[in-house]
Amino acid sequence: KGITVNWPLWQEVGMAQAYEVDNRRSVFESLTPRQGAAIYAELLQCGRSRMIVGQLKRQLTRDTIGQSLMNDYVLSDTLASAFRTRMEHRQEETERQVSDPFPVRILDKDEADLSATEREVAMIWGQVLGADEIGLSAKFNNMGGNSILAVDLFRRLETKYGKIVNISDVFTYATIAEMADYLDTRQQQQNGTTAAAEPSTLALLQRLANREISMNEALETYKTKSGGVS
């Protein structure tokens, strides 16, 4: 009689060691060789022909569920409903935390000089990192941020600012100051305040690419159109 077993990742042996497999995207905890051997001995005595072995991780990020669970497994209605309920509760908690003020002291800028966006982003960083003191120029990973916290940061920013934020922005604009500047620019673009300037700038760049004008002429024209700002 044959037995079919779907195993989670085994630590330190087999494919895990040979291919340096990353278990972070799996919904199951990995097994030590000792655990695997003990479970296998039990499986031989259970009398079933098909089994899935694994302990679900206690904390499942939305990224893990989206990349692994929903794509690789077919869930029963009961289990699918349980996961949906968990994610809805997590989203409600995120929205509540974003809306609640979180006291954060900015180390490298006076409170009176902070923009509204800098203050909002700093509060979100404080919630994600559990920090009550933050510098606007400190990088996310240097403050203890990791990939899981980055997903949490993205969800909170998306809840606050909508679809102008995507997950890659968390890594591209890795400080509060950079993220706040980016968000202000994107909001201005969305509101149409920069729409009128974009066509003329693109036309200027096109003329420069076609060698119709020199770099100095392009810079002078740009400064004139932007009100003399160098």
Q: Could you tell me if 107 and 183 lie in one domain? A: yes
How far apart CA 152 and CA 158 sit, in angstroms, is 10
Give residue 102's pLDDT. Answer: 54
From 2-16, 89-103, 139-153, 193-207, the region with the lowest mean pLDDT: 193-207
Q: How many angstroms separate the Cα of 58 from the Cα of each of 25, 39, 127?
A: 13, 20, 21
pLDDT class of 200 with cuts at 50, 70, 90: low
Q: Could you tell me if 178 and 209 lie in one domain? A: no
Give residue 147's pLDDT. Answer: 79
Give residue 62's pLDDT. Answer: 46
Q: Could you tell me if 105 and 145 lie in one domain? A: yes
For 88-117, what is the mean pLDDT? 74
Percentage of residues in the chain having pLDDT higher than 90: 13
Q: How many domains does the chain have?
A: 3
- Domain membership of residue 93 (yes or no) is no
Residues 213, 147: contact at Cβ < 8 Å? no
- Domain membership of residue 186 (yes or no) is yes
Q: Could you tell me if 107 and 174 lie in one domain? A: yes
Residues 156, 124: contact at Cβ < 8 Å? yes
- Domain membership of residue 77 (yes or no) is no
- Most confident region among 129-138, 141-150, 190-199 by mean pLDDT: 129-138
- Domain membership of residue 87 (yes or no) is no
Give residue 71's pLDDT. Answer: 44
- Domain membership of residue 223 (yes or no) is yes
How far apart CA 140 and CA 27 sit, in angstroms, is 26
Q: Could you tell me if 208 and 176 lie in one domain? A: no
- Domain membership of residue 92 (yes or no) is no
Q: pLDDT higher for 126 or 16? A: 126
Q: Could you tell me if 207 and 173 lie in one domain? A: no
Q: pLDDT higher for 211 or 154? A: 154
User: Encoding tokens for residue 221?
Assistant: 């024209």
Is 60 exceeded by the pLDDT of residue 61? no
Entry pTM: 0.44
Going by the DSSP 8-state scheme, the letter that residue 75 receives in this structure is: P
Q: Could you tell me if 105 and 42 lie in one domain? A: no
Q: What domain range is 222 assigned to?
A: 196-230
- Domain membership of residue 205 (yes or no) is yes
- Domain membership of residue 76 (yes or no) is no
